Amino acid sequence: MDARVNYFAGPTAGTALKYFMSAGKALRDAPLPTATQELMALRVSQINGCAVCIDMHTKEAAAAGETSVRLNLVAAWREAPVFTEAERAALELAEEGTRVADGAGGVSEEVWAQAAEHYDEEQLIALVAQVSFMNAVNRLNIITRQPAGDYEPGQFH
């Protein structure tokens, strides 16, 4: 499959993506565990069906020391006892924040309260920004049919 556009070829995409990717770097530097960030990014990308981001975040998580067992179970995290309560809260927030059209009320008070039990305000802001950022990146890749499979860990850092 060939991409519909080359994001790195033109000035508009180059300029916009430079700022967009700097936002991604700021989020990587946020006060959240790397494992939580990568698990959330992976789950959002699974829900949206973004192969590029699934490829990227699986490989980044593995490079950061994540186990294949946990990576393989992200799609079924509710039934998998390998995630901490804090990670479960983040994954639930990521799911509800991604599926806003499916649940007319957006993120429920219960899910927000559960996340707030495990994360302080700065971390909650980072969680919300991460979910929003991943949804946007997923759409950029899906709309333009960016090919997946050849990502190398650290490629965009």
pLDDT in tens, 81-90: 999 999 999 9
Distance CA 100, CA 111 (A): 13
Put simply, whether the predicted model's pTM sits higher than 0.85 gets the answer yes
In the chain, the domains with their CATH numbers are 32-143 (1.20.1290.10)
User: Which residues touch 58 (CB under 8 Å, ≥6 apart)?
Assistant: 42, 71
CA dihedral 116, 118, 122, 123 (to 10 degrees): -120
CA dihedral 67, 154, 99, 147 (to 10 degrees): -110
pLDDT in tens, 30-57: 999 999 999 999 999 999 999 999 999 9
